[in-house]
Copies of this chain bind each other. A is one copy, B any other.
């Protein structure tokens, strides 16, 4: 099986490659060739040195997608995207990469198939940003997509293209609307959503973190390990079960910031919690108030996608996967 992954240098991409290195049949068949692509050089794990190629390229440049598809990958994990904040500031770049870049991949597959029968599986990383307020407390599987960002718009459009190309028999597509990933490894960043991870990751490492919103804020989460699991499951799933509706809201955990903090206390003690500094930021509060809080992701759950059911688990996974099993 030849696997192509875009956005392979991103957080989820790297974790997915690392897990594949440990579990060679993660996608249901032996990976005989792995093509990793990103705008910055993706790392190839030692286990894949002989079969992997790492490409640095910009999907906004016309013709790049065609080159990738010329290798006729059997499974395409399309994770590459300009993130939400950047797509909002740079309108052209967001559309060029998140919409046109994706469409060119889809179209390159179609053109390849016109030349010579070809029917790869395409797993597309979508986002809960396809939803915009006002919404019900729990967003169901049939709720409409009314994004309030260009990023969300681009993801919603790609979901529609994915379904149409699938319906036309061009490829076998499945779109995964990822929850907010928590605990995100790495350094604190200025993304409005950063604090959801910062208030856990930093105290677990013995460092202070700032909480800019109240503890009553509710949000929708899954661990990086769950996200990797979503892609692996999507690569293997019997897609005939999906019918024509190819975009799925992934399961997750709806939790209050207060519940995150209680879980931190249970797992790492009072000393960790004391490292959280409450510094309300009305601007971040306003942004976060517009985000989805809870979903009824029944369809994906019934299809076997799994996420954590407690924040204690999400924190323990972070300790196992990032801190070699020990918090500070």
Contacts and interface: CB of A to CB of B under 8 A. Distances in A.
Contacts of A145: 144-145, 160
Interface stretch (A45-53, A146-154, A185-193): A146-154
B163 A150 contact: no
A157 B130 CA distance: 12
A168 B146 contact: no
Q: Which of A150, A157, A161, A163 has the most CB of B within 10 A?
A: A157
B153 A163 contact: yes
A206 B167 CA distance: 42
Contacts of A153: 160-161, 163-164
Contacts of A147: 160, 163-164
Interface string A173-206: 0000000000000000000000000000000000
A261 interface: no
A287 to B, nearest CB: 15
Nearest to A155: B160
Contacts of A97: none
A56 interface: no
A307 to B, nearest CB: 22
B244 A148 contact: yes
Interface in A100-159: 110, 132, 142-148, 150, 153, 156-157
A22 to B, nearest CB: 37
A175 B166 CA distance: 26
Contacts of A110: 91
Contacts of A156: 160
A167 B148 CA distance: 8
B163 A157 contact: no
Of the candidates A132, A157, A160, the one having the most CB atoms from chain B within 10 angstroms of its own CB is A160
Contacts of A146: 163, 244-245
Contacts of A157: 157, 160-161
A299 to B, nearest CB: 12
A161 B153 CA distance: 7
Nearest to A134: B243
Given A142-B143, A145-B144, A150 B132 contact: no
A150 B160 CA distance: 9
A203 B110 CA distance: 46
A244 B132 contact: yes
Given A146-B163, A148-B244, A157-B161, 17 more contacts: A91-B110, A132-B244, A142-B144, A143-B144, A144-B144, A145-B160, A147-B160, A147-B163, A147-B164, A148-B167, A150-B164, A153-B160, A153-B161, A153-B163, A153-B164, A156-B160, A157-B157
20 contacts: A91-B110, A91-B168, A132-B244, A142-B143, A142-B144, A143-B144, A144-B144, A144-B145, A146-B163, A146-B245, A147-B160, A147-B163, A147-B164, A150-B164, A153-B160, A153-B161, A153-B164, A157-B157, A157-B160, A157-B161
